[in-house]
Structure 1
Amino acid sequence: MIQLKNYQEEAVNGLLKDTYSALKLPGTRNRMVFKAPTGAGKTVAMAAYLNQLAAEIPDKLDLPKRKVAFIWFAPNQLHLQSYFSLKDYFKELRTIKPIQFEDVSNGKLNPNEVLFVNWQSVNSANNVYVRENEQGKDLIKYIYKAMLDDTEIICILDEAHYHANGTKAKALLQQIGAKIEMDVSATPMFHSDYGYTIKRQEVVDAEMIKKNVVLNPLLDHHQQEGRSLNQVLLDEALKKHKELKQAYESLGSNINPLLLIQLPSDKKTESALDRQLIDEIETYLLAKGITVQNNKLAVWLSNRKDNLDGLEDKECMTDVLLFKQAIALGWDCPRAAVLLIFREIQQEHFGIQTVGRILRMPEQKHYTLPILNNGYVYTNLSKDIIKIVQEDIDYIVQNTAKRIESYQEVCLDSAFINTRLTRNRLSSKFRKCIYEAAEEYFGLSRDLDVTNPESIEAYNTKRLQEKFIELDVSQIEIPIPKNVQLTTEEGYTKVTEKEIFAKTQGELDILFRQFCRDNVGAYAKADSTPVLELGLKMLFEEYLLLNEFQAIKIILFEQNKSKFIELIDIALTKHQILLDQKASEASKRVEHSKWDVPVERIYNEHYLLKEAEQHALKPFYEFNNASTPEKEFVYFLEQNKTHIEWWYKNGDKNKEDFAVTYVDRNGVTRGFYVDFVIKTKSGKIALFDTKTLDSDPEFVAKHNALIQYIEEKSTKDKPLIGGVIVPKGARENRTWKYCDNLITKANDTIGWLSFEPALT
């Protein structure tokens, strides 16, 4: 089953909390919003939400009704994409049943069913499924019958802004009268106090989407060199595609990045402008050896569908896709990396929706080469015309700095510690834990001596009987609560219940799932419950050759319950030890790579252009909130530029930034991102981190780690110097002091050296 990212799990919990609140509200059509940026995996999060809601709602005794069915509306063919995604998600679970119209049974929507509907098939009174028809399929009747059965209806409006804002759409939603209408989109149409928003930075930090989208406006006419505007754009986009492909190859990856070329017209059919542009593009690509015939070019137009099969595969040989803006909604191609947009002059606004096709990371991770962590957009609009949507101004950037041509590689050893957290869920290792717990607690075994005439199942049966486990449950029925009512007396909640008995497999399954949900401890219930269920069933199958129906009755029999709860607790303890070991190993797992100043680096709106002749990237962008020592050290370096080949202001958190490891005061291994890497004219490489005395509680640990790194890595061919460096004196007469040995305190500079580029 798919594992949720941390931000997805938080979204599920937030949606559940507000759903329970909305179900208590009076009336119908209570609105909720689930806003998730492109690439966040909203369908997966929604699947987990549905699963947990269906599992929990029977226990929510404070709700007026505790049964719910869902209608998932989506435009075009997006409903089928979501249907198959959820069907795959729930293939091992029984909480939710994804269905289409032909799957409706009993003439109504049943609890925990999700009916997937193409919006265009129901948004008119004349369309099928919303009126009497030969097939007897009538959406409104299905809904009303469900409501008569005390089943609440939740409408999920996938990409509501595409289909739910028209007069007919509003009329249909009014007719349905669902208890909740949930707008699920990157750009929600609704506004509501109920719902959840996944922040884009959370998705970036999870390495699901690219860090930035780089907008490269049309080059000025001085750089055209006799080429047409369209040729300039094609050349730049193809050049970037080639650079990305080479970057993947340098990392040993076979991913082939895809260049998307978008035509300007939004109409379904090709205009005269489109046809003229298509001919020009295909002729130009032919000269570059990119054609439909050799499978390097794919075309997705209203009247042409060329080379689309397998286009989403990471290693697909197709380099370029020519398409219109109306490309299938929901189309997902994570290898798409470059977008060339031919736009009409009045379309000057850029936002994430415009460039959403190139946001996903192909392997759901960021790379050590920064060029692979950004998406690239080329357009025929000039820089002074382009307007970036305010919400996306930090994400869509135009500030690109490139490495100087004279740069020669230094190949420094760099370290990166992956800090992505492990989810709090039962893992695939849990089954082993429950087997070990059963062998310890009950004395079971799967490995009897071959000389023992007793079968394994007979041996294990005796061990359970010795623990007073009742195994003969064929005639025993399991009590279940019915007609639960709440009465409050003196501040206490009292539950009165009448008992009936579970007789069918379905009834037992519900009780068993509830038993497992109640006993997964602090682990996430939605994902961990199925793991516990399967572990217990497999325990009985492998140790006693009993089927799951027999196993469930044995576990749920009142006399046996407490012993199996104890067994589960032992297994959970064992599993937690495994997780702690894994987390400890992960926190110390260091990924090593060879580091050089990046070929190019992207700077967002938080960086300002500054004059700096010797910076390794041109132009130099300085962080708005750079510390005073950092700014002063830049000034010092530029004052001594005649003795410096280049200097580089390092980043402070990414895989592509230079770092050494150190152990902090709590014994945790962390990355130390040294502020400056400097190449002097003498050939020495200086690694300096600017601070003031006692300004950092990890001052000593960081300095000593850097000194040890320098001692280990410095060679005759690549001499290294450096350490933590501090300013002394007024600006015009300032010296910069560092120590080339280990230190024990950070409050004086007696015996420290002065960094003098002329003498270094």
Structure 2
Amino acid sequence: MVNGLIDYEFQDNCVDYLFDKTTSADSKKVITVKASTGAGKTVILIKYVNFYLNNTNEKTAFIWLCPGKGNLEEQSREKMERLMPSIDSRDLPYSLLQGFNERSVTFINWELITNRKNNALKESEKKNLFDCIDEAHSKGIKFFLIIDEEHLNNTKKAKDIIDKFDPVYTIRVSATANKVAHQEYYEVPEDEVINAGLITRAIYVNEGVMENDKIENDYDYLIDLADAKRQELLEGYKMVKADVRPLVLIQFPAARPETIKAVEEKLASMGYTYDNGLVNIWMSDDKIVSDDLTKNNGMPAFLLMKQAVSTGWDCPRAKILVKLREGGSEDFQIQTIGRIRRMPEHKHYNFPAYLDLCYVYTLDERYKQGLMSELDKAYQVRKLFLKKGFEDFTLVKELRNLDNDNGLGERELLKLIYNHYANKYNLGTKKAANQEILAMNGYSFSHEVDSKVVQGLFRSDETLSNATSSQKISVKTRINTHTHGIQLMHSVDEIKKITTIPAQRVKNILQRLFRKGKRNSRKLLSLDTSDFYAFIINNIKQLKEEFREIMATQDKQLSFIGEAKTSKFTIPDTELYKYTEVKQVELMKKNVYEGYTNEFLSSEARKSKSERLFERFCEDSDSVEWIYKNGDAGQQYLSIVYVNGIRKQWLFYPDYIIKTKDNNVWIIETKGGMEADRSKNIDRQAENKFNAFKSYAERYKLHWGFVRDIDEELYINNTVYTEDMHGENWVPLKNILKI
């Protein structure tokens, strides 16, 4: 026991693991620790730092990086000073003045060094961060990086700063981590944390929600369930003589003012207000928080919050989470549950059993682990430099002409969408018959909003995120034009995102097609207002699919109106490529970048099979002099303008530029091929891109082609696009570029 701190075996085991790995010469340089919220991640790290400093004489400085939300770096530093006062702990401003001294621990808020407006990186009278790092390196000081809640800061700028520290070891800690090949990995067993009484035995999702419930109002329904559970828990704590007042967290994904107001009015009708201290709010621009909020016997019964409170905030009496839907189809972020899993007195009560659970109420249908992104994937990133001799190579790249990118007008769009439905489903002028046909083709005509929600007990976050269909029940919500008006606009926004058609225009077209109103020749259905809302919300996936099909259509009238803007393309001097470790490294000699190897062609780093096959083909081909892999997006890469079925301009980035030994330049786009007579191509715009590509190549007198694979063999086409590759237009690539 250290300074009154209880020792848990699972924490000490993790400390031993970290010490062994950071004192072993053959350890991998990144060590990932997965530990559930409530396992005491901060305590584990403090114990580890203390143990390392007490058992080594290395000239080491620790850098402890925390996310900006919630002042976690201040909380972590205060905890270290309380538990291990002998350690030299400091904040960033102090280290900028004194330097990163050996055996020190500097706690840094990510916002200070990644925010564009920060002062830490600016030249000033103080030494800036990079100067201090260089000075420490010159003194032989080695850096160990601790990255807490690291999934929140996987940005390029964050990586640049990590690279500058050039740490000997980096310890990443998160409740949501993946095991990857190029990192050491340790997982604190969640069962041991549960058995220690630190977190709840399980998560109860939607207790009291019954199959085929008909809900009048989402917010009222969930808040009533949550308050009934809060009162039950309150009585349970009294039974066991625990001075605990349970807290309900109400989470707003977008924190729309109208949603917050509706919830405030609901709570006030139940006797819970800001004025009587029973309601607190914690938003970025609105904060009313009582001094006793996080105390076990604190007065507030409800806290209105956004996602920002999910990190760096410790309130063990929070036992119930209500997640509201503001758009209708948001994912439930699993890591938020960590806020309600801690046990308020660090023990289980066993009886009544419901005190050892936490409770989630939500009508969300999808549950998503908030896993780490770029830095935690199975691949790493390496910067490569352009070989000499390629600096002067240029091509013309096209850019969208924003002065001429209005697309079809509303009347033309309405006609196009109407014709799509009429032709695809053989619809006519009789609205009732049209409804029957659409219903037979999978469209829902329910009068309510239908949802399939999770219901039941779950031992862990992982089991919840993998909930099966047998653990879901159907509920129906009666249409309310106020609350579902927000959901309707969210559905409209989803169509807007994939089409770039303004939201109001999308809504107008949907109303003219499907809603009762003024007679027009393009009306397919005649739904009343509430049924129209239900139709759009329930069928948004299918509606988006229809719009994608429409955008992929070809028409001779849809040629690019006006000239695309152009600029000069040159091969970038440096490039970042994803790679993974391979058993035997082979240099790819024909690539334009120094040090390009087969590590960049592993299936983990390069998902596209046709790309992997094409690069290996070029490496082995006697006809190919060099090859360049183009980027997927960005002004530095080669781009070509194409126009989709609604006359909107888009850019696509052909995958490769190669030069052959007969001095010809080829531009190649790869797509998924065929397998068992089935296309693997997932790009709906392939034909539009193909035709634009063909026109571009003719204009600039370049060789070009789409390349796809069948049974490990590559085929090229630059005549007429077809999804089926069995026609004569798909020619073996080896007949064009000799091996």
Task: Using structure 2 for the length normalisation, give the TM-score.
Answer: 0.48
Structure showing greater Rg: 1
Task: Using structure 1 for the length normalisation, give the TM-score.
Answer: 0.46
